[in-house]
Amino acid sequence: MLQLFLIDGEILRQTTATGPDDLRAPACLWVDAVAPDAQELAWLREVHGINPEAAEEDADIEFSARAYEEGGAVYLRSDFISGRQQDYDVVPAKLVLKGETLISLHDEDVPILRLLRLLRLRLRNRPAPPGGAVGLLIEIYARDVEYTADALEDIHAELKDIGASVLAERRGTDEEAAEFIARLTLQEARNGTLRRNLMDTRRALSFLARERLLDKGQGKVLQQVLQDIESLLSHTAFVFDKINFLMDAIVGFININQNKVVKIFSVAAVAMLPPTLIASIYGMNFEYMPELSQKWGYPMSLALMVVSVALPFWYFRRKGWLK
């Protein structure tokens, strides 16, 4: 499906392309190709003279394969954040600047991202954005950065909740600690996804600046977006540090719980040494051991064993070693 955004006077009107003639409208500012079929791709190739199909090298990590100029058109392969309520992922999209028209291609049967869906709603029957197709492209990237900032806020809120729970349950079970570790691992993966997306957006905007496609006003807006990206990248580093701190804290609490168990066994082993010694002495069977021939010898040895166990436990408890 090809969604067209046409400049109609001072407003931006949305329509759906039914043939190649619709794409030739001089007022067409944006062509959003949502899961286009072969016929629609042929229309784009015929009217705009571009390669609308996602090239195999578009997925290459080398930036030269993700941003380039060819045949009078600028090609950008970018990732955009999608999802909500912390189920974040990246959706690849191909953006093409050809003349005064921006062409976006993506395979999913939804708008490129939530940010583009919001952008459509905002632009529908509203004043057209300044700066033409280039200004629209910068606004799309700016929206992606804003959405990434919201996603980082969600991650920080989740880490705050985990931190409060860890401190409240610092004497919890190993199962609770394992749950906290799993939640932290998930947040670490999400933060890495957001950081990678920010770096991808920064490279795309830097490419636009190098290609001298911007006027003075657009250059200022682009620089502001780049500054926002730098601040968010610093925030992702802070999030990584916080995740590492919480992970270390949880592992520390696990070690404390394990040390408590080891301490109990150590105290029990020390407390059992005196009765073991007494039993060993009276088990030697020497001929001259006067207690062996006395009626009170057996109860005396048992009493000594009980006292020798009770005294160490009383002493350890007084010292607080059994807590």
Q: pLDDT tens digits for 95-132?
A: 888 888 888 888 764 444 444 545 555 555 555 556 68
* pLDDT, position 57: 44
- Spatial distance between the Cα atoms of 280 and 289, rounded to a whole number of angstroms: 13
**What is the fold of 2-256?**
Beta Polymerase; domain 2 (3.30.460)
* pLDDT, position 183: 87
Q: Side chain identity at 108, as an amino acid letter?
A: E
The predicted model gives 133-149 an average pLDDT of 85
Task: Indicate the domain borders of the chain.
Answer: 2-256, 272-319
Report the run of H or E that residue 179 belongs to, with start and end.
helix 174-210
pLDDT digits (tens, 9 = 90+) for 260-277: 778 778 877 888 888 888
Residue with tokens 């939530």: 114
pLDDT digits (tens, 9 = 90+) for 71-104: 788 888 888 777 665 567 777 888 888 888 888 8
Instruction: Give the percent of the chain with pLDDT over 70.
Output: 84
* pLDDT, position 118: 55
Q: How is residue 60 written in tokens? A: 């290459």
* pLDDT over threshold 80, residue 232: yes
CA-wise closest residue to 278 among 300, 256, 246: 300
* pLDDT over threshold 50, residue 191: yes
- Average pLDDT along the chain: 79
* pLDDT, position 111: 41
**pTM summary value:** 0.73
| 41 — pLDDT class (breaks 50, 70, 90) | confident
Q: How is residue 67 written in tokens? A: 């941003």
| 25 — pLDDT class (breaks 50, 70, 90) | confident
Helix, strand, coil percent content, the chain, rounded in steps of 5: 60, 15, 20
* pLDDT over threshold 80, residue 287: no
pLDDT digits (tens, 9 = 90+) for 192-227: 888 988 998 898 888 888 767 777 788 888 899 999
CB 5, CB 133: distance < 8 Å:
no
* pLDDT, position 241: 92
Q: How is residue 153 written in tokens? A: 């806020």
In angstroms, the first-to-last Cα distance of the chain is 69
- Spatial distance between the Cα atoms of 127 and 115, rounded to a whole number of angstroms: 18
CB 54, CB 87: distance < 8 Å:
no
Dihedral pair phi/psi, residue 92, rounded to 5° = -75, 145
Query: In this structure, how many other beta carbons lie within 10 angstroms of the beta carbon of residue 23?
Result: 19
